[in-house]
Amino acid sequence: MASATYIDDSSSEVIDPPKAEVLDVTELAGDPVPHSPKPNVVVSSSVRELLECPVCLSAMYPPIHQCSNGHTLCSGCKPRVHNRCPTCRHELGNIRCLALEKVAASLELPCKYQNFGCLGIYPYYCKLKHESQCQYRPYSCPYAGSECTVAGDIPYLVNHLKDDHKVDMHNGCTFNHRYVKSNPHEVENATWMLTVFSCFGQYFCLHFEAFQLGMAPVYIAFLRFMGDDLEAKNYSYSLEVGGTSRKMIWQGVPRSIRDSHRKVRDSYDGLIIQRNMALFFSGGERKELKLRVTGRIWKEQ
């Protein structure tokens, strides 16, 4: 499949379909969507425009509000317009547009990730729930050194990391890296390095950084899998750090890049070394950090 990129910083709420005549909506994002993909269909653009909120331009879900002149807007934007219709400036009141809510319930729309390979067609009120779980939804850039908003499929992100972030790329399932910092007392949540490894036909991201764990400065190393969580569980990895005839070993399962870098780091799911111990491993007068981190990745049988 050809590579594609997708940038989307929206935060749409996941919505369930209305039940019977009660058209209020409840969020159940964790439930699977029980609708099978259907052949592609075309929904009139005029119908889509009717369901577009004139304020936020997003699709509207129950309760859909309207003014006395019939102009509609979504429930999220109603408080923002101070009870005034954004189209005619008349007072809004609490009028529901039940007809439009029922029209929406009759629609079936393609997944917004169809350009990434999803061919499913889903009922209007199930579409957002499906999209929140769609296996074709793009991945966010795993680079943690900046707030990168780029998203795309894995081949696109690999090229993006290499060309735009100048990340080191390595082939093979073992690694041996040396991290040096002349002033180890400067922590301030600094991301030091991201390295990408290609093995077993997959890509893995090795993170190494300094951050504050409460009041204590620590270093953490962990691995993330460039793919979904279920596939990530097919692999394991080990990390080893040491010096002066001592060493620490960590073994775990790589986390999917569906989990953000911060989420993985703040769950302490990796090899954590206190600064004093790291300086002890570095030898010398403990004024310069010199850590060697080795490890390997393997596929579970």
Task: Give the CATH fold of the 143-299 domain.
Answer: 2.60.210
Give the pLDDT confidence score for residue 275 in this predicted structure: 82
pLDDT of residue 71: 93
Phi, psi of 189 (to 5 degrees): 50, 40
pLDDT over 60 at 7, yes or no: no
Sorted by where each begins, the domain ranges of the chain are 46-106, 108-137, 143-299
What local confidence, expressed as pLDDT, does residue 12 receive? 42
For residue 174, the model assigns a pLDDT of 94
pLDDT, tens digit, for every residue of 196-211? 999 999 999 999 888 8
Integer angstrom CA distances of residue 143 from 1, 150, 151: 24, 10, 11
pLDDT band for 187, please (50, 70, 90 cuts): low
The Cα 118–Cα 137 span in angstroms is 9
How much is the average pLDDT of 7-11? 42
Listed ranges 31-35, 42-46, 165-169, 212-216; the one with the highest mean pLDDT: 165-169
Report whether 222 contacts 192 (CB < 8 A): no
CB atoms within 10 A of CB 167: 18
Could you tell me which of 62, 64, 77, 53 has the C-alpha nearest to residue 15?
62
Higher per-residue confidence, 180 vs 3: 180
- Which pLDDT tens digit goes with each residue over 71-101? 999 989 999 998 889 999 988 888 999 999 9
Average pLDDT estimate for 147-151: 88
Tokens at residue 43, please? Answer: 């929904």
What single DSSP character describes residue 117? T
211 C-beta neighbours (distance < 10 Å), count = 18
Q: Give, in words, the CATH class of 46-106.
A: alpha beta
CA R_g for the chain: 25
